[in-house]
Each structure stands twice: as structure tokens, then as C-alpha cells.
């Protein structure tokens, strides 16, 4: 059996992965808060952990992997969205949840085994909070319940590698009169008549954010499970707080044994932000005509623990590559399983870039069946993701030869007018023009329009 190696944030090293129960490998990943469309950065962990899900299914069998990813459908951002739009909370969360599933489906992400909603797990959260109070790890104050970090000084901060004192000195902690220690965090808070709330031993209120992942992972995966994933922006405080809650409520369990964190996404070398004007959603890209498969391919070219830079140029090159691969694999049956080199690359801490390099080798060798099998393992080249590439494949070789000949002639005459005219026309048609001493390559970009090439010969 293939040995998967994963970089465990907990040990800060790459470890051989050994599941608690190979018959039921269990993974939990923090999901979205549902009040708006997912932006491109939100999609990165979805694609990263989808690849891990596929790899685990490949190695342990599709029926032997349980993957849970939550929807946070109770949150003050949702309440604010409801207040400003005048819409019902339930309507907003239901609509946004479906948007998320549709958009991530367009990126080829399989649906997890379980997709729990926080509002469906309030009794389990209340029970866990009551248990934490009984065990001396939490206290009620002014309608709130807080986790007491001083009750677990030995464990708190281990994942992110900081001490409680460092955290207090460095973090922007919310100071509140009812907190015993400024690092104590909210498990339960009171709701007013306008806010969503549930009856509890501490009055009508709603859960804090962190407790839902502890309660839902416990309910669905048990007190010890294999992998916990999320973006590295969640490491502190969210994951640190999940660990504190779960380990203190279930001291016999280990909670999650392997912690995986993906790095963040940038756009054209800059952090994506509304103020920089480079903020966009997955749906924005899809509506612009960028195929979901192209987005996925661009993501997978960068290792998940490195910052990933989204650029239009990468998208154009990815589209051209996928077009070629789809033409090569059309009507072909995949080999029974992906080549060992592809599986080995993925098993080495999800080296997706290495797996794609192997796919390039298979394509260069004309091994269409092998290429297709590798694509299936990575969630690429599938039939249902391929509608975008169904259009006739345009043979650009005549155009490439024409431009090359024009340039050869211009080198003699020193008159480049014809070269410039052709270059401008190809660019206008959505082609990227790459010229070297030995040849010309025309690469279709996302806005490529074959109709504009008519009459150019």
C-alpha cells in the first residue's frame, strides 16, 4: 500500500500517515460562513483538501474515508447581512450554502461525506459547554460562557507554537469585564430578541464560532480522528480553541492527529482585498468564462504550503494545456489506475505540482490513457467538467507558420508592418503571441475567439 506522507503542523515535520482505522479514515475541514459568495481565496482549501480526499479514497478505498466539512450558519456577519438587506437569516444561509456547493462543484470538488450545519448541532454544543463547565475548563458570567485558558495552560498554544503570555502580549484580544483572563474565549453568548437564539442553562443565546467544529467533529468522527485541515489563517485562534475545547471535554481522546494548513492566495502578486480592487469571487471568474477546471489546474500547480499567486497569464496557459490534453484523451478509456509516479508525487505531502509534471510527461509520450487516469486522480479531465472545451479545436499551426514567415521576411527587408499587423490581429482574437528565434507559438487565452481569425490568412 502507498505510504502517504503529510506535513503535520503539530510536529512541524513531514510524517508518514498511519490512520487510526484504515477501514474508516476520518478527516474534518473547516468550512465557510454562509453569508456571501466564496471569493477565490476561500476556494483554495476546498480544492486542496478535495485532492487529499481523492488520494485517501485511492489508497484506502472510496468507502473507507469519511470527510466532514461544516457550514457556519449562525454568525454575527450573517445577522448583519440580514439586518442590512431586510431578508430572513434562513433564506440568506440556504441561498449562500447552495451557491457554495455550486461554485465548488464547478471547480471539481467532490461533496464531503458529511456537511453539518451549525444550527443543526446546538444541543451537542450546549452539552459540550456544560461538560466543560463541570470539568472546570469553562465558566458562566453575565449570560456568557467562556473557556478558561488558565485551566489548560499546558496545552493551549501548542499548535501555533506560542505561550499564553506571548499571545496576550501580541494579540488583539477583546477585553471584557466578565473575562478572568483576556485570552478566554466565548463558548456561548446571550442573544437579544432580534438575534437568533436558543434556550440554554445560561439563558437564551447562541454559540461562539469555535465550539461548533468541536461538537460536530466529535459527533461525526469521534473523540479521536485522523486529519484536521483548514487555511493557515485559522491556526490561531480558531484551531487552537478547537483543540482546547475538544481535548478538555474528551481528555481520553486525541482530537485530530494530523493538522494540515494551506497557505493563502494572492492575485497578480498582491494580497486580494476590496481596497486594492483585485477582489473577486469564484462566480465572477466563472461568469467571465474562465472554466472551473482551469481554476483548479492553476491552483494545483502550486504546493498547498506555499503562497499561491493567481494570474491571468497562468489561467491562459492552463487553458491551453487542458485543451491539448482534452483533445489527446477524447474518446479514450483511462488505464485502470494512475501511474505510480503520479500517485507517489501526491503521496509526498500532496505534491500536486509534481503530479502535474508527471502528467506533462505522459502527454509528451502520447500516453492518453495514462494521462486520463492521472487526471481523474487529480479531479481533472473528467467528462462533466469538460463542456467548456467541447467547441471545435482550432488548428493554429497555419497561423503560426504565417507569422513566422512574415517575420523571416521582415528580418531581410527591415519592414515589420506585416508582422505588427498580424500580431495585433492575433492578440485581438485573444491569442497570446510567443515569438522566439526558432518559431512562433499562439496560445489561446480565456477570451479566445476563433471567429476573429477568419480572413487573416
Q: Does 142 count as an annotated binding residue?
A: no
Say whether residue 213 binds Zn ion (CB under 5 A).
Answer: yes
Q: Which of 25, 27, 29, 30 binds Zn ion (CB under 5 A)?
A: 30
Indicate the DSSP class of residue 110.
Answer: P
Which one of 29-37, 75-83, 152-160, 402-410 is the stretch in contact with Zn ion (CB under 5 A)? 29-37
Distances (CA, A) of 27 to 13, 63, 218, 411: 19, 14, 12, 61
What is the Cα–Cα distance from 338 to 409, expressed in whole angstroms?
A: 47
Min CB(364)–Zn ion separation in Å: 42
Say whether residue 128 binds Zn ion (CB under 5 A).
Answer: no
Residue 415 neighbours by CB under 8 Å, 6+ apart:
none
What is the Cα–Cα distance from 30 to 380, expressed in whole angstroms?
A: 24
Which one of 26-34, 186-194, 247-255, 291-299 is the stretch in contact with Zn ion (CB under 5 A)? 26-34
Say whether residue 187 binds Zn ion (CB under 5 A).
Answer: no
> How far does the chain reach from its first CA to its final CA, in angstroms?
56
Indicate the DSSP class of residue 455.
Answer: T
Q: Are 25 and 65 in contact (CB under 8 A)?
A: yes
Of the pair 70, 302, the CB lying nearest Zn ion is at 70
Of the pair 70, 329, the CB lying nearest Zn ion is at 70
Of the pair 93, 241, the CB lying nearest Zn ion is at 241
Which one of 159-167, 189-197, 212-220, 416-424 is the stretch in contact with Zn ion (CB under 5 A)? 212-220
Min CB(30)–Zn ion separation in Å: 3
| Strand 440-444 relative to strand 431-435, pairing | antiparallel
Of the pair 71, 325, the CB lying nearest Zn ion is at 71
Min CB(131)–Zn ion separation in Å: 19
Of the pair 139, 209, the CB lying nearest Zn ion is at 209
Which one of 161-169, 207-215, 415-423, 424-432 is the stretch in contact with Zn ion (CB under 5 A)? 207-215
Of the pair 255, 448, the CB lying nearest Zn ion is at 255
Min CB(209)–Zn ion separation in Å: 8
Which one of 75-83, 208-216, 299-307, 419-427 is the stretch in contact with Zn ion (CB under 5 A)? 208-216
What is the Cα–Cα distance from 336 to 224, expressed in whole angstroms?
A: 34
**# of chain residues touching Zn ion (CB under 5 A):** 2
How far is residue 310 CA from its own chain's centroid?
Answer: 13
Q: Does 247 count as an annotated binding residue?
A: no
Min CB(454)–Zn ion separation in Å: 54
Distances (CA, A) of 107 to 9, 46, 192, 310: 27, 9, 40, 15
What is the Cα–Cα distance from 314 to 321, expressed in whole angstroms?
A: 10
Q: Does 30 count as an annotated binding residue?
A: yes
Q: Does 248 count as an annotated binding residue?
A: no
Which one of 22-30, 112-120, 216-224, 369-377 is the stretch in contact with Zn ion (CB under 5 A)? 22-30
Residue 171 neighbours by CB under 8 Å, 6+ apart:
183, 237
Of the pair 213, 346, the CB lying nearest Zn ion is at 213
Beta bridge partners of 443: 432
Whose cell is 481520553? That residue is: 252
Q: How much is the CA Rg of the chain, to the nearest whole Å?
A: 26
Say whether residue 216 binds Zn ion (CB under 5 A).
Answer: no
Min CB(238)–Zn ion separation in Å: 6
Distances (CA, A) of 242 to 42, 62, 145: 20, 28, 15
Residue 109 neighbours by CB under 8 Å, 6+ apart:
46, 47, 50, 379
Min CB(174)–Zn ion separation in Å: 19
Of the pair 260, 389, the CB lying nearest Zn ion is at 260
Say whether residue 125 binds Zn ion (CB under 5 A).
Answer: no
Binding residue ranges for ATP: 274
Summarize as ranges the residues that interact with Zn ion (CB under 5 A): 30, 213
Binding residue ranges for Zn(2+): 30, 213, 238, 242
Amino acid at each position: 500500500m502507498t505510504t502517504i506522507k503529510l506535513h503535520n503542523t503539530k510536529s512541524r515535520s513531514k510524517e508518514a500517515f498511519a490512520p487510526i482505522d484504515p477501514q474508516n479514515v476520518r478527516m474534518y475541514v473547516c468550512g465557510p460562513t454562509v453569508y456571501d459568495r466564496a471569493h477565490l481565496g476561500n476556494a483554495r482549501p476546498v480544492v486542496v483538501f478535495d485532492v487529499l480526499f481523492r488520494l485517501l479514497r485511492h489508497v484506502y478505498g472510496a468507502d473507507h474515508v469519511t470527510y466532514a466539512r461544516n457550514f457556519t450558519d449562525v454568525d454575527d456577519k450573517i445577522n448583519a447581512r440580514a439586518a442590512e438587506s431586510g431578508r430572513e437569516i434562513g433564506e440568506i444561509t440556504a441561498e449562500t450554502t447552495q451557491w457554495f456547493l455550486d461554485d465548488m462543484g464547478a471547480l471539481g470538488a467532490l461533496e464531503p461525506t458529511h456537511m453539518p450545519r451549525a444550527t443543526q448541532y446546538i444541543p451537542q454544543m450546549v452539552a459540550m459547554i456544560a461538560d466543560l463547565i463541570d470539568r472546570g475548563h469553562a465558566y458562566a458570567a453575565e449570560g456568557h460562557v467562556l473557556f478558561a485558558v488558565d485551566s489548560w495552560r499546558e496545552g493551549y498554544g501548542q499548535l501555533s507554537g506560542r505561550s499564553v503570555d506571548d499571545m496576550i502580549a501580541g494579540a488583539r484580544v477583546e477585553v471584557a469585564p466578565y473575562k478572568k483572563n483576556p485570552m478566554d474565549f466565548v463558548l456561548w453568548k446571550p442573544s437579544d430578541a432580534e438575534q437568533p437564539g436558543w434556550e440554554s442553562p445560561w439563558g437564551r443565546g447562541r454559540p461562539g464560532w469555535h465550539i461548533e467544529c468541536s461538537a460536530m467533529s466529535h459527533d461525526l468522527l469521534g473523540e479521536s480522528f485522523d486529519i484536521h485541515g483548514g487555511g493557515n489563517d485559522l491556526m490561531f485562534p480558531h484551531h487552537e480553541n478547537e483543540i482546547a475545547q475538544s481535548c478538555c471535554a474528551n481528555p481520553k481522546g486525541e482530537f485530530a492527529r494530523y493538522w494540515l494548513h494551506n497557505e493563502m492566495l494572492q492575485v497578480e502578486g498582491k494580497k486580494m482585498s476590496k481596497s486594492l480592487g483585485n477582489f473577486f469571487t469564484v462566480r465572477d471568474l466563472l461568469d467571465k468564462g474562465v472554466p472551473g477546471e482551469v481554476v483548479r489546474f492553476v491552483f494545483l500547480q502550486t504546493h498547498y504550503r506555499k503562497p499561491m499567486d493567481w494570474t491571468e497569464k497562468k489561467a491562459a496557459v492552463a487553458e491551453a494545456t487542458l485543451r491539448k490534453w482534452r483533445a489527446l484523451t477524447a474518446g479514450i478509456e483511462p488505464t485502470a489506475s494512475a501511474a505510480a509516479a503520479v500517485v507517489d508525487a501526491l503521496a509526498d505531502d500532496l505534491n500536486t505540482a509534481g503530479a502535474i509534471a508527471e502528467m506533462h510527461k505522459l502527454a509528451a509520450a502520447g500516453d492518453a490513457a495514462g494521462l486520463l487516469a492521472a487526471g481523474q486522480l487529480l479531479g481533472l479531465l473528467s467528462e462533466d467538467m469538460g463542456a467548456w472545451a467541447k467547441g471545435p479545436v482550432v488548428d493554429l499551426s497555419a497561423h503560426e507558420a504565417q507569422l513566422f514567415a512574415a517575420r523571416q521576411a521582415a528580418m531581410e527587408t527591415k519592414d515589420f508592418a506585416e508582422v505588427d499587423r498580424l500580431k495585433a490581429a492575433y492578440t485581438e482574437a485573444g491569442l497570446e503571441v510567443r515569438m522566439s528565434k526558432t518559431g512562433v507559438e499562439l496560445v489561446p487565452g480565456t477570451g479566445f475567439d476563433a471567429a476573429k481569425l477568419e480572413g487573416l490568412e
